[in-house]
Amino acid sequence: MKILFLQQQPCIRTLKYAEGLRSTKDNVKLIFAYTHKTLTQFYGYGDELFDKMIKLEKKKLTPQIRKLIYTENIDIVHSHNAPDFLTLSAIEASRGIIPIIHDIHDLISIRSTPYGTLDPKSHHVLEIERRAVTECNGLIFVTSGVKDACESAYPIDQKPTLVFPNYVPRRLMPSALRRKLSEIFGEIHIVYEGSLDSVNLGGHYDLKDIFKAIADQEIHIHIYSSKENPDYDAFADGNSYIHYHGHLGTKKLLQEITQYDYGWAGFNTDRNKEHVDTVLANKVLEYISCGLPVISLGHKTQQEFIEENGIGIVINEIGELSDRLREEPELNEIRSRVLECRQYFTIEDKIKQVLDFYKCFI
């Protein structure tokens, strides 16, 4: 099977797909066509997972994709958003000859804040999203919440769909778990890893008030940022319960955070509640892979995942946290369940779902 991936800027989700597909016994050929940087240029690795990496010129997308489809004998196109324009170019290029799968990482129409340069109030942006969603042959969603939002907005009830979260590659799973800081020093230690926002006040990564509310309950919060953030570094100064550790590479990060008691996955919903309610944060699956129970605020999709799998707790208000963390019988049961199931949320374990989805079109 020859698969053409399309994406403006190749991302970690597509890299995970490639790792999963390479782990199977199926004879899969992977070609990645993009317009910005390659995976290796952007992340330092990843190009080696693909048979070819081909840069497209933005002014000639449709004819270039059409040529690729024919010269490479492509069986299926797997196009990733956002933005959505590459899916439209693929639809026009294929002329119905091969199936076009549209993978929705982010549904722009439910955002209140911009996604990069994409304005969720722009008629042009929303029309491209509508056409990509409704004219493709099949849809893959990063969460059930994105699927629900898409079904509410567009007539897709007759279209084949798959929900496929951002599972963790097996190679990143810590092979051994460190001794807990709480066993050595006492008190509870929670970790947050991921994006931080010092610019968009009220955005979902504006987390200072949340971190302070945790610290005010004499619970330690350890922060690892996806990019260095001097503002949060300064914010942590002078508070003995807030610890800013900066940025670490993913493999080292996942090993290091095994020393904490819980992983934090609660976001600011002042401006983007509708979007946040559709999210299952990557960090949730990463915490599980590290043996950490997850703590979340009541974000709809995330809450459903946590409760369905029994891998954490959900609180409605930050002020409830210290009381919930005293419920030892429930927490001990959750810890045991996370340790038992952490190897089952890997991309290698789940990738057959994607292959089976491809095969229903061929």
Task: Give per-residue pLDDT as tens, 111-128.
Answer: 877 777 888 889 999 999
- Does one domain contain both 317 and 188? yes
Instruction: State the pTM of this model.
Output: 0.93
Number of domains in the chain: 2
**pLDDT confidence of residue 97:** 96
- Measure the CA–CA gap between 230 and 293, rounded to whole angstroms: 28
Sign of CA dihedral 308, 341, 263, 254: negative
Q: Residue 64: its pLDDT value, please? A: 98
Q: How high is the pLDDT of residue 113? A: 75
Q: Which pLDDT score, from 0 to 100, does residue 116 have?
A: 78
* 82-112 tens-digit pLDDT: 899 999 999 999 999 999 999 999 899 988 7
For residues 245 and 151, state if they share a domain. Answer: no
List all residues 6 or more positions away from 360 whose beta carbon is below 8 Å from its beta carbon.
138, 160
Identity of the residue numbered 71:
T
pLDDT score at 125 = 93
Pair 55, 191 in one domain: no
329 shares a domain with 214: yes
Characterise 291 by phi-psi region: left (phi > 0), alpha (psi -120 to 50), beta (else). left
Which pLDDT score, from 0 to 100, does residue 32 have?
99
pLDDT tens profile 2-57: 999 999 999 999 999 999 999 999 999 999 999 999 999 999 999 999 999 999 99
Residue 299: pLDDT band (50, 70, 90) is very high
Mean pLDDT on 198-204: 88
How confident is the model at residue 44, as a pLDDT?
92
Parent domain of 355: 2-167+347-359
Same structural domain, 66 and 94: yes
- Residue 131 and residue 21 share a domain: yes
The reply to whether 156 and 208 lie within a common domain is: no
The whole-number pLDDT of residue 121 equals 86
% of the chain exceeding 90 in pLDDT: 93
Q: How far is CA 67 from CA 29, 35, 73, 322, in A?
A: 17, 16, 10, 60
Quickly state the pLDDT bin for 202 (edges 50, 70, 90): confident
| Residue-level pLDDT at 201 | 86
Helices (H), the chain: 12-22, 39-43, 61-71, 85-94, 123-135, 144-153, 181-185, 208-215, 230-236, 250-256, 273-276, 282-289, 300-309, 321-324, 328-341, 347-350, 352-359
Asked if pLDDT for residue 339 goes beyond 90, the answer is yes
**Does residue 147 share a domain with residue 178?**
no
Q: Is the pLDDT of residue 335 over 90?
A: yes
Q: How much is the average pLDDT of 333-353?
A: 97
Read off the CATH number of the domain in which 198 is found.
Answer: 3.40.50.2000
pLDDT digits (tens, 9 = 90+) for 209-250: 999 999 999 999 999 999 999 999 999 999 999 999 999 999
Angle among Cα 173, 175, 180 to the nearest 5 degrees reads 95
Q: Are residues 151 and 228 in the same domain?
A: no
- Whether residues 253 and 352 share a domain: the answer is no
Q: 240 with 309, same domain?
A: yes
Q: Are residues 133 and 29 in the same domain?
A: yes
